[in-house]
């Protein structure tokens, strides 16, 4: 992973309410180019809410910018800066995978709604990066959950945005799929992307992310290197469990021939 320290996302005093309930309270942090930043916390801590706020999906108080563009800016102003991969896709049409990934280029269409050769090259490159090239002609709805995840990542890459937000991308994936996706995120960070990912598996966060933003009851509990933040005493206090995080068997991917 790169040692770059350029701030790609800047949040200051972000507070979000739903009626009388405070979901996020005075959340401040930076996310950097060249790193994978994990957002962790118990259910209801505000992880997905924060991720959606960064993507510009929801109103809030405070300051939240992606590469100097306010998260509250019009969608077309944000589309080339940040891409959001939700935990579950609402897409239920049997579109070919290439058409799904093509959606990531919508902001680049000409006045007649057409894409040019450079857009097609970006789509092909995104499919290759995400390991989804072999799926390009298959209907999206016929894919496994893991395959769909790769396609959604490819769609995000096709936007050309260098800030990627992923909400629990390894949920319901088997071990190999999870490891390959986490390895992809690390590779993208090494290429200078800023990756912000919500993870529930804390051992994955320790092994595959650079820093962790730990939320507790809507506030920032800690922010720092993942292995420091996700220490057993912190997990005991925040999650109310006794555990040796990361103390189980370690897995790795086989070398590709």
Predicted pLDDT of residue 79: 87
Of 177 and 50, the structure prediction assigns the larger pLDDT to: 50
Q: pLDDT tens digit string along 101-111?
A: 999 999 888 87
Predicted pLDDT of residue 2: 43
Instruction: Name the pLDDT band for 245 (thresholds 50, 70, 90).
Output: very low
Q: pLDDT tens digit string along 111-146?
A: 778 899 999 999 999 999 999 999 999 999 999 988
Cα 161 to Cα 155: distance, rounded to the nearest angstrom: 11
Predicted pLDDT of residue 168: 95
Q: pLDDT tens digit string along 81-99?
A: 999 999 888 888 899 999 9
Candidates 39, 145, 140; CA nearest to 88 is 145
Instruction: Name the pLDDT band for 4 (thresholds 50, 70, 90).
Output: very low
Query: How is the chain split into domains, by residue range?
Result: 1-81+161-250, 84-160
Measured between alpha carbons, how far apart are the two ends of the chain, in Å? 24
Statement: 1-81+161-250 belongs to CATH 3.40.50.300:
yes
């Amino acid at each position: 992973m790169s040692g770059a320290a350029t701030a790609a996302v800047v949040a200051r005093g972000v507070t979000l309410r739903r009626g009388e309930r405070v979901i996020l309270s005075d959340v401040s942090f930076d996310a950097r180019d060249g790193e994978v930043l994990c957002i962790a916390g118990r259910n209801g801590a505000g992880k997905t809410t924060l991720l959606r706020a960064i993507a510009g999906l929801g109103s809030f108080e405070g300051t939240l910018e992606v590469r100097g563009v306010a998260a509250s800016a019009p969608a077309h102003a944000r589309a080339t800066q940040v891409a959001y991969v939700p935990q579950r896709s609402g897409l239920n049409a049997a579109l070919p995978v290439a058409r799904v990934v093509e959606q990531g280029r919508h902001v680049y269409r000409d006045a007649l709604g057409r894409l040019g050769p450079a857009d097609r090259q970006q789509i092909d490159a995104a499919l290759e990066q995400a390991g989804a090239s072999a799926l390009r002609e298959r209907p999206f709805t016929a894919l496994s959950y893991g395959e769909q995840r790769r396609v959604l990542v490819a769609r995000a890459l096709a936007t050309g945005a260098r800030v990627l937000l992923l909400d629990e991308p390894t949920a319901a994936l088997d071990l190999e799929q999870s490891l390959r996706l986490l390895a992809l995120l690390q590779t993208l960070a090494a290429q200078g992307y800023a990756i912000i990912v919500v993870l529930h598996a804390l051992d994955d966060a320790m092994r595959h992310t650079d820093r962790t933003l730990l939320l507790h009851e809507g506030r920032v509990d800690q922010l720092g290197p993942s292995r420091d933040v996700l220490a057993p005493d912190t997990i005991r206090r925040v999650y109310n469990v006794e555990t040796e995080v990361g103390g189980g068997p370690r897995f790795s991917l086989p070398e590709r021939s």
